[in-house]
A = this chain, B = another copy of it.
Amino acid sequence: MAFVLRAKRFDLSTGGQPFVVVIRNEDGKNFGIHAGDRLVLQVDGKKVIVQADLTHRRVKQGEIGLFREVWRENKIQNLQAVEISPFARPVSIEAIKKSLLGKKLRQADFDSIVQDIVNNRFGTTELTYFVASSFVREYSNQELYYLTKAIAVHGDQVRFNKKIVADKHSVGGLAGNRTTMIVVPIIASIGVCIPKTSSRAITSPSGTSDTMEVLAPVAFSVEQIRKIVKKNSSCLVWGGGLQLAPADDRIIKVSRPLSLEPYSKMIVSIMAKKVAMGITHLVIDMPYGHSTKIPDLASAKRLAVRFRYLGKRFNIKIKVAMIEALEPIGQGIGPALEARDVLRVLQQKEYRPKDLEEKALKLAGMLIELIGMARKGTGSSVARDQLVSGRAWKAMQGIIKSQGGEPNLDSEDVTLGAKRFRVVAKHSGKIIKINNQAIDELARSLGAPDDKVGGLHLKKRLNEKVISGEVLYTCYASNTSRLSLAAAALKHIQVYTISRK
């Protein structure tokens, strides 16, 4: 049975799933639709799975209200006729049951599950069952490969017709650490293709895309990206605007409430996107330590083994950098302050953050060696040469210009929050701890990442000695109400811990 209703655009948004439509109570009764039911909405031959809300007055009989996601993504006009029909159970439910009951899944199982995810045939419940099944037992290497492949192929496939397509990826979890925006122009400056897609911040104060956006737009279509890369060997764009491994985004969303991110999910998420982008050589930055995602070296090593396994299966050469992380990398936290750090390094300013520069050179060097453009042990010095000579900055200027930014921006001209206050040491002593989580919370209360000019600038490093009254860090915000939010946050969090003697 199918019913035809007239569309009425609603100015309401759920932020994505579920896609909500609003039906008059009486119509619900006639069609046997209850609030919360899932339906298939068909328009212009395209099918979307939607969820029904009911109303007494907001729409007339014969009308169907559409939440913003529904009418915008499917270009539905007011009064346009849309067809509604009952939703049949997705076929891949059987595969999910199989997995829940502890049986191994095959390629066909993963394909049908991922297809149903991508086509929005799953509600939150079905999706959660699938994710739950991956918690209860570790996937075998073979299953990990199947799932990665399924996620990679059900979405955009970007190809650059180059023998070498390089990439550098951080597993994240460390404040600052904006190495990507230094490594990419270094590699691009030696003529190697490095089409970098990054994410925006989810829980942190800034993602690479948020920081890059201070210098240039980052949202582009696949076609535009291809053009930018053709001109510069490289790009620094937001991956979320593409349909790269789209199933992964929905899986991540459902995984969050448990905050139990099994490594297998992290590996699949990263590798599927690399496969979709046609990457051939990949350096993975895997900082470990108690305040990062990976608690110790043993865990890092176990993870590296699985990355290498998948690298082999997909024909991607992989090098994993396992570096212990006890403090942030760089001084700025928040989009604008991190962008300033990056420019200071690329423009070789005297007061550039050396720790950020050294880490970027190390990663760039590993990638250069992996590609085979330097002998073992010499990659970093090749990288340094590109940076010191100004060639890396030149490459970055090309990227910024192609992406529509201002290529001549000096690091000191980056706009920062006009409202500021300094936090000073309450007593003299040695800095014995820098709290990653406190930094994130403070930077977010200052407005980062949505307000790009909010954040903090760290003046002191671990093990440094400070004297009472010395400035530890400066907070930046665009208005005083943000500053007072930060002041309130500071009542229960502490960024630096200073020893008493």
Looking at the assembled complex, report how far the CB atom of A398 sits from the nearest CB atom of chain B, in whole angstroms. 34
A283 and B435 CA atoms in complex are apart in Å by: 62
Nearest CB on B from A265, distance (A) = 14
Q: Is the CB of B257 within 8 A of A89?
A: yes
> A97-B260, A257-B123, A485-B1 in contact; A35/B14 too (CB < 8 A)?
yes
Whether, in the assembled complex, A22 has its beta carbon less than 8 Å from a beta carbon of chain B, the answer is yes
Residue of chain B at shortest CB distance from A37:
B15
Q: Is A470 an interface residue (CB 8 A)?
A: no
Chain B: minimal CB distance from A386 (Å): 39
Distance between Cα atoms of A124 and B133 in the complex (Å):
16
A52 / chain B contacts, CB cutoff of 8 Å: 15
By beta carbon, the residue of chain B nearest A124 is B124
CA distance A329 to B312 in the complex (A): 63
B96→A258 contact, CB < 8 A: yes
Say yes or no: B450 contacts A58, CB within 8 Å: no
Q: Digitize A112-138: 1 where CB-to-B-CB distance is under 8 Å, 0 elsewhere.
A: 000000000001111011001101100
Q: How far is the CA of A16 from the CA of B123 in the complex (A)?
A: 16
Q: Which residues from 54 to 81 on chain A have a C-beta closer than 8 Å to any C-beta of chain B?
A: 54-58, 67
**Alpha-carbon distance A123/B53, docked complex (angstroms):** 17
A15 to B123, CA, bound (A): 16
* Residue of B with least CB distance to A52: B15
Q: Is A14 touching B1 in the complex (CB atoms < 8 A)?
A: no
Nearest to A65 among chain B residues (CB) is B12
**A13 interface residue, CB < 8 Å from B?**
yes
Please pick, from B1, B11, B54, B133, the residue contacting A132 in the complex, using a CB distance under 8 A: B133
Contact code string A251-295 (vs B, CB < 8 Å = 1, else 0)? 000100111100000000000000000000000000000000000
Inter-subunit contact B53/A15 (CB<8 Å): yes
Residue A258 contacts which of B10, B54, B97 (CB distance < 8 angstroms)? B97
The answer to whether A29 has its CB under 8 Å from any CB of chain B is yes
Q: Is the CB of B124 within 8 A of A58?
A: no
Q: Smallest CB-CB separation from A67: which chain B residue?
A: B53
When distances are taken between beta carbons in the complex, the residues of chain B under 8 Å from A1 are 485, 488
Taking the complex as formed, is A401 at the interface, i.e. its CB lies under 8 A from any CB of chain B?
no
Q: Does A372 contact B (CB under 8 A)?
A: no
A404 at the interface (CB under 8 A from B): no
Q: Report Cα–Cα, A429/B341, bound state, in Å.
A: 88
Complex CA gap A18/B22 in Å reads: 15
Q: How many copies does the complex hold?
A: 2
Q: Does A377 contact B (CB under 8 A)?
A: no
**Given contacts A97-B260, A260-B97, is CB(A12)–CB(B58) below 8 Å?**
yes
Contact of A35 among B16, B36, B123, B444 (CB under 8 A): B16
Most B-side CB within 10 Å, residue of A1, A55, A125:
A125
CA distance A11 to B36 in the complex (A): 15
A258 contact set on B, CB distance < 8 A: 93, 96-97, 100, 126, 129
Let me know if A433 is at the binding interface, CB within 8 A. Answer: no
Tell whether A102 is near chain B: CB-to-CB under 8 Å.
Answer: yes
Q: List residues of A (403-450) whose CB comes within 8 Å of B's CBs.
A: 444, 450
Residues of B within 8 A of A317 (CB): none
Scan residues 1-42 of chain A and give those whose CB is less than 8 A from a CB of chain B: 1, 10-16, 22, 29, 32, 34-37
Cα distance A53–B11 when bound, in Å? 10
**In whole angstroms, what is the CA distance A102 to B138 when docked?**
12
How many Å lie between the Cα of A11 and that of B93 in the bound state? 34
| Contact indicator B55/A13 (Cβ below 8 Å) | yes
Query: CA separation between A32 and B67, bound complex, in Å?
Result: 22
Measured CA separation A492–B58 after assembly (Å): 37
CA distance A206 to B444 in the complex (A): 54
Complex formed: what's the CA distance from A86 to B450 in Å? 18
Chain B residues within 8 Å of A13, by CB: 35, 53-55
Q: Is A298 an interface residue (CB 8 A)?
A: no
11 A-B pairs whose Cβ atoms sit less than 8 Å apart in the complex: A1-B485, A12-B53, A16-B35, A16-B36, A53-B67, A93-B257, A100-B132, A102-B136, A123-B124, A125-B254, A129-B132
6 extra interface residue pairs, beta carbon distance < 8 Å, beyond A32-B450, A93-B257, A126-B258: A10-B58, A14-B53, A15-B54, A100-B135, A126-B257, A128-B128
